[in-house]
Amino acid sequence: MTDKKMEMWSIEDLVALTDEVQNEEIEYKGKRMSFQWCELVESEEPKMAIPDEKESEEDKNAYYTALANEKILCMMNKANGKNPEGASINEETWSKLPTTLKYKISAKIMGTDQESNF
């Protein structure tokens, strides 16, 4: 195991992340795609109601998928408002993108893609 000294976050740097427009490029079907987003503070998060326990697993999964989709869109919209020149995806275009591309973008933003895992 490597004994690698890791830098510590300061509270100021963490707070600054919510104002910072982050940019990324990914490859999709042999071409590059760029997009931007901002981290959200709690008050900017999409509001969530807990699904009723009586609902089917399929309905619950659909609800949580829609919620995650809304969160990603909020993150991109926030960045688009701060940096309109860098906007490549908006609400209208997001709804028209192939789902495989949306999953790839979402995974990159949320840090769950293979390259971002830590």
In a domain, 9, yes or no: no
In a domain, 100, yes or no: yes
In a domain, 14, yes or no: no
Write b or e for each residue in 51-90: b if 16 or more Cβ atoms lie within 10 A of its Cβ, otherwise e: beeeeeeeeeeebeeeeebebbbbbbbbbbeeeeeebebe
- Provide the Cα torsion 103, 104, 106, 109; round to 10°: 170
34-56 pLDDT, tens digit each: 999 999 999 999 887 887 888 88
In a domain, 40, yes or no: no
52-88 pLDDT, tens digit each: 888 888 988 888 888 899 999 999 999 999 999 999 9
In a domain, 95, yes or no: yes
Q: H or E element: which one contains 25?
A: strand 22-28
In a domain, 97, yes or no: yes
- Percent of the chain topping pLDDT 70: 93
User: In the chain, how many domains are there?
Assistant: 1
Domain interval for residue 93: 56-111
In a domain, 76, yes or no: yes
d(CA 115, CA 118): 8
Q: Give the Cβ contact number of residue 39 at 10 Å.
A: 17
In a domain, 82, yes or no: yes
